[in-house]
Amino acid sequence: MNKDAKIYVAGHRGMVGSAIVRTLEENGFTNIIKRTSEELNLIRQEEVESFFKKQKPDYVFLAAAKVGGIHANNTYPAEFLYNNLMIESNVIHSAYKYNVKKLLFLGSSCIYPKMAPQPIKEEYLLTGSLEPTNEAYAIAKISGIELCRFYRKQYGCDFISAMPTNLYGINDNFDLETSHVLPALIRKFHEAKINNQKEVVIWGTGKPRREFLYVDDLADACLHIMKDYSDEMHVNIGTGEDIEIGELAEMIKNIVGFKGDIVNDLTKPDGTPRKLLDVSLLQSTGWVFNTKLNAGIEKVYQWYLEQKNN
């Protein structure tokens, strides 16, 4: 990748897209194309084709998606399936049509079967039933992987896919209705601390185990595989380490400085019991994560406080 190559980052205002832009800029790339959803609606095929025809990017990072936690996925499954199918279909097809040199599609670890053996290898895809609470999103992301694979097979496109584990970082979503567990806990503990509450309620038993990757580490991995990886097999991106949700809550409680109790709401679902990615394929290409969970959460909490103050 030449430093002046034309690079389109789809979803540049989201947590993942903004981290990819930061990483590209830090690595000296100077020709980054960005469009807001108001400027370019990726759900509309005509708009996407017109954009690619005019801009003709050399490389595409497809980080745009409709995302959310268990509640949002469960409540709006049709939106999650339709919007994500349209975004990826339009971008991937236009990338083929207008001769993009390489495209990286970003999925999610929820693509794997609910009861997949742990840690989860790439080849476990489509070997069992999905977790019902985010099935629509998972089906959309699986379709994106398969689109990249079949455009490679039929047309010889250098389109690759990466499956990040649970992400957190700067520009995360802290809305309690639609956020993922880690930013939701940061907000809950912070507000409980400010309001002198005696307890914070967390969903489920706290026993499910989850893996968390700092988003700037993800962006670094994305640039690495964009430069050094080309294959129809998608690549897991993670740490290879996981933690119980209850332990995570204790960690965030301590970082925020909340002094009250943690209470489990056992009427709420746990979701998948464990979701740890096998990252040996990624590690074999020479990449390992950099940011430890405790240090990453401290960075995000400081950023969250700055946003509150602003």
Report the binding-site residues for substrate: 188, 203, 210, 270
Question: Which positions ≥6 away from 65 have C-beta within 8 Å?
Answer: 11, 14, 83, 84, 87, 106, 141
Closest CA to 34 of 46, 58, 18, 50: 18
Asked if residues 145 and 111 have their Cβ atoms less than 8 Å apart, the reply is: yes
Other Cβ atoms closer than 10 A to 99 = 11
Q: Output the DSSP codes for 18-55.
A: HHHHHHHHHTT---EE---TTT--TT-HHHHHHHHHHH
Binding-site annotation: residue ranges for NADP(+) = 11-17, 106-109, 141, 164-167, 180
The tokens of 89 are what? 């279909």
Kind plus residue range of the DSSP H or E element containing 186: helix 181-194
Q: How far apart are CA 186 and CA 162, in angstroms?
A: 27
Instruction: Count CA atoms closer than 13 A to 187's CA, side-chain side.
Output: 15
Q: Cβ(160)–Cβ(103) under 8 Å? A: yes
Q: Among this protein's residues, is 137 annotated catalytic?
A: yes
Q: Which of 8, 96, 137, 229 is catalytic?
A: 137
Active site residues: 137
